[in-house]
Amino acid sequence: MRNVSLSNISRRFVKEDGTHMVALDDVSLEIDDAEFVCFLGPSGCGKTTLLRIISGLDQPDEGAVFLHNEKITGPGPKRGMVFQEYSLFPWKSVMENVIFGPLMSGMKKKDALKEAEIYLELVGLEQFKDSFPHELSGGMKQRVAIARALANEPEVLLMDEPFGALDAQTRNVLQGELLQIWEKKRITVLFVTHSVDEAVFLADRIVMMSSRPGKIKTIIDVNIPRPRGRTSLDVNVLRDEILQILSEDKEK
């Protein structure tokens, strides 16, 4: 069943000299329910802009985005966003950060606290619910951000390089934890990354985008059973194939 539909999305920005920079050019894509899709491509190819348009934080100049055939015209609780920066309220505790969205949506505090307990346990932070962001490691902060996004019960989880600022070991751990959450919740995940290894480890499909103006260059089905070994033959073959596609884009 289709979840997110992108129809002929284009986006332009005006530069300081008055000329236009085309970030996205005629991007169309269909994404199924509970699918894990990674967007991969060179810097400046419009991956983050595309994610912001799907979230409703930005609007296309042409085209439209639909969630279950309903046009997206602005932010909404059906789409949760996790940024590379932790974007937590530093003056609020972990629990207060997680319940913020449900409270803003009108949920009673008693019910919001009960739901938040579930998601903090899901990300392994139930013992840190009274801690503040400055007391947490980078990986723990990002777990809070994921719990906060999930607490609104979104249909789509949008993730913009959420592990990009973390060390390799923490990044690998969180990738595994994210897959466990995805398999348990069965929501659609749209994940922007610059890492080929990350995309191959996580995705059902990898949407490879070309250099600006951003277009979909190719879509790769990752037909490798989970759990995936990071150094398995199948993973390495696919990784080399993707690196070759990326190198062709650089050579132009």
Averaged pLDDT for residues 39-64: 92
What six digits make up the tokens of 195? Answer: 């890492």
pLDDT for residue 94:
95
Q: Which of the residue ranges 16-25, 158-167, 210-219, 229-238 has the most confident prediction, judged by mean pLDDT?
A: 229-238
Nearest-10 Cα torsion for 41, 42, 45, 46: 60
* pTM across the whole model: 0.92
pLDDT for residue 237:
95
Averaged pLDDT for residues 51-55: 94
Q: Which of 14-28, 130-144, 175-189 has the lowest mean pLDDT?
A: 14-28
pLDDT for residue 211:
84
Class level of CATH domain 2-78+155-251:
alpha beta
Q: DSSP secondary structure string, 108-168? A: -HHHHHHHHHHHHHHTT-GGGTT--GGGS-HHHHHHHHHHHHHTT--SEEEEESTTTTS-H
What six digits make up the tokens of 213? Answer: 């103006």
How far apart are the C-alpha atoms of 134 and 182, rounded to whole Å? 27
pLDDT for residue 21:
86
pLDDT for residue 228:
92
pLDDT for residue 90:
93
What six digits make up the tokens of 35? Answer: 């699918």
Domain ranges of the chain: 2-78+155-251, 90-153
pLDDT for residue 157:
95
pLDDT for residue 3:
84
pLDDT of 252 above 70 = no
pLDDT of 250 above 80 = no
The residues near 89 (Cβ < 8 Å, ≥ 6 apart) are 96, 97, 100, 133
Task: Count Cβ atoms below 10 Å from residue 180 Cβ, excluding itself.
Answer: 12
Burial of 83 (0-12, 13-18, 19+ CB in 10 A): middle
Q: What is the pLDDT of residues 178-231, one digit of tens each?
A: 999 999 889 999 999 999 999 999 999 999 998 878 899 999 999 999 999 999
The pLDDT mean for the chain works out to 91
Residue labelled with tokens 């491509």? 41
At 14, the pLDDT band (50, 70, 90 cuts) reads confident
Q: What percent of the chain has pLDDT over 90?
A: 67
